Amino acid sequence: MANFSVPIAYLREIGVVPEVSSQSDPVTQILERYRGYLVTERGLVASSISVNLRVAKVFCRKRDLRLEELSAAEVTAYIVAISTCSSIGWSKKTVSALASFLRFLYITGITTQPLAAALPKLAGHRRTVPCELDESDFARLLGGCDCSRDVGLRDCAILTVLWRLGLRRAEVAGLRVDDIDWRRGEITIRGKGNRHELLPIPIDVGDAIVRYLHDGHRRVPPGCRALFVQVRAPEGAMSPDGVGDVVARVSRRVGLPAMSAHRLRHGTATQLVRNRASWPEIAQVMRHRTAAVTASYATVDPALTSELARPWPGAL
């Protein structure tokens, strides 16, 4: 008898054939409800939804628990077991995702207690080393872009947007031509949590984008409104990984250590500190929700804090 499991699985993956709902599996039904909650109530992007669902599924299947009888001790024991065999980064991500799932269970009445409060805090601190990138490094990066070519015009515009606006790579990849209001000098950013926020367009950012749009020969597929597109096949919008590859490739080309797009974001925050911007101003530009995150991004240079120290009486 022929085995059609592989082609059927492929058709389900691309959305041609709907998923088979298991009426006899309550966990599957709860996970589907949780997916809808993440999309409609929390407004998370696809990547965050995928991580949260993965953590919730592993928690439900591996522990083989009756969610209605879940206890705080079982939640704590699960995190302790996970943290012993996982990196600190993944352990923290698991705690965050599991907290979301436990809150969902509570507000939907599946559990009677707010078990998210039982999740333990994990040790581990953010790095507080100041980002060493400065304007001269940014100028070197721009010098590594051959603006006589389409790819150079595009890469120059991407680097300028990353450095001046402090965007995440996914936010750069998600920019659309319609997001730019040239009359008002503003650009709409689609950030974390599906939030749409306006930022002013600095002059050099606008100039770099105009050169890319006007002088470059963008090959745009029908219906594509992406600002930054591929210069080689397959044609279409750039991915977040593609934006990161631009930064890594150009940094190596100019003799700088290979860096990620996120390091440019840290450099933007540090430059704002060095230019005496206030913490609320930095948080607004970086679009952070808490001051603690801003402080970890914009680590203060020791040379700047030294002028705040008072001379010690009697010191030589």
Which residue numbers are catalytic?
A: 168, 192, 262, 265, 288, 297
CB contact burial 225-262 (16+ within 10 A = b; e otherwise)? ebbbbbbeeeeebbebebbbebbeebbeeeeeeebebe
Report the distance separating Cα 85 and Cα 310, nearest Å.
Answer: 47
Considering only the C-alpha atoms of the chain, give the largest distance between any 2 of them, rounded to a whole number of Å: 93
- Give the strand order in the sheet containing 186-190: 180-181, 186-190, 196-200
Residue 131: count of CB within 10 angstroms of its CB: 21
297 vs 289: CA distance, rounded Å: 13
Please give the Cα distance from 283 to 272 (Å, whole number). 10
In angstroms, the CA 195 to CA 191 distance is: 5
